[in-house]
Structure 1
């Protein structure tokens, strides 16, 4: 359980869930910019798109490092099994993030005739990283077989229809995050284009959520039993109602030409989906059979790491808030941070 009745595994589970959620939300919209990049042909508008995240994109990935390090320290069994099961899509994700990161730095320094190469590195890296993350999530939700505390599946189990559809779904979700982020940060024709793209992306995301949700319940009938029994039905209905209200608010704010509210409502949709996922797999950290406590490291190790985490988490949060505060406001043609 923990030290003197404190459930350290539960605390670490919350920290990891929070870190992953922060990464998905904050790195999601800048990956979304790369997904939207092919829809914008004007070089100056592309510069503006990249400059909206240039000061913050690398800080966003701090949350990914935090989540991975916390998983390794607090739940080494889960770390080992998940990495073994999803080694290839995680490598693809890292390769995409590397291409995207290099493109950020080199695109602005490349001569005009070479810039298109870095544009495609940015587009390809963003798509590859996003799709791979979706595949990882889909394979994780589908379930990872564990026998005698060892991964009991194959190295290509992730290469299945459900994870691949989840990859497409995450591409749509990040594109919507990116388009609504640009409503906050840009103006003129670029803002108008993003408003035009956001509405069909919202409806497409709804369709993907319905397909993936129904598919998940078909794969795991026990989830249907959990969600629709009397004890959990209120929570499930509450999440559905809140998601419907957030979608309505998103579409309405787009029609009324708000700049900030569409992004806020998109964040709410992402948050509600994440909460639904977390509640569906609870209390397992390796679905469908390994719980937080079964995968945990010794309590003394968890406590030692927790002391450090309690120092570093406020620093990351303060740095993140200050970064976004300093670089708030619209980005215009001619502005830049390189």
Structure 2
């Protein structure tokens, strides 16, 4: 493969603009290097600020796909066209060389016809139904599954490729990644309480949960309950008497009233003590709530758990592991850096 040359300072600017267009997140140069730590690229990016760099095209794409993954835009690191090679090899191993070759020919010929038809009829999208049907007629049910994988792989490559203008989401704004660690009052555009891109970033960098700003953690928890379809009231963040979020859970019986759950958020590394548990229970009783929920990036201390069990407090714990499960559910496939 060939190589790409970047003048002094051009590589970082290029990556920020390119990945920023795809993912809609702005990060500083130091943050970019931190995200790349553990790979072979931090020194390359820093060095490019002082002198010209020459990078092989396959390394350039690997660097780009690494950043896409580290900002949370993709749940796993993709490998561009090599993902297609891997798929074809796997299909050949599972079903034979003739199967894989036939499938590839069906996809290539069918896609060409669909593109020609779209040009003639001025369509803006392609309907892959005919591709799937042709695979079924030629290769049976295994051909259907394989064709769907082929279509999805090609589409993923098209959307993620640094050489393509396609992207998953037409972002309405650009958000700074460092806003995750400060109390930003900017109105969210791609989310109700917290921006989707910050959720995607955290799903890939869950070790930063305990370092995010406490207000952002509250917004993340509120977003979770909002996505469940509940009515959510996020407190002011200060002078809230310990109740960070109020959630009304719809009753199963239409004649009943909604249940009130009081949510207290603890973004911290140390375990939550029993004093906090007692305080939440007092709030539950005072407001006549049905349940108190302690959501923490850590976990409850043994004493706190014992207090809940022995006294029968209507309090549930959501620990750091469960919050990570929430992130996995909240992230959006294929979504999730510019100066």
Using CA pairs under 8 Å that are at least 6 residues apart, name the structure with larger relative contact order, 1 or 2: 1
Q: If the TM-score is normalised by the length of the shorter chain, which range does it land in?
A: under 0.3
Please state which structure has a larger fraction of its residues in helix. Answer: 1
Normalised to the residue count of structure 2, the TM-score between the two structures is 0.24
Please state which structure has a larger fraction of its residues in strand. Answer: 2
Larger radius of gyration: 2
Normalised to the residue count of structure 1, the TM-score between the two structures is 0.24
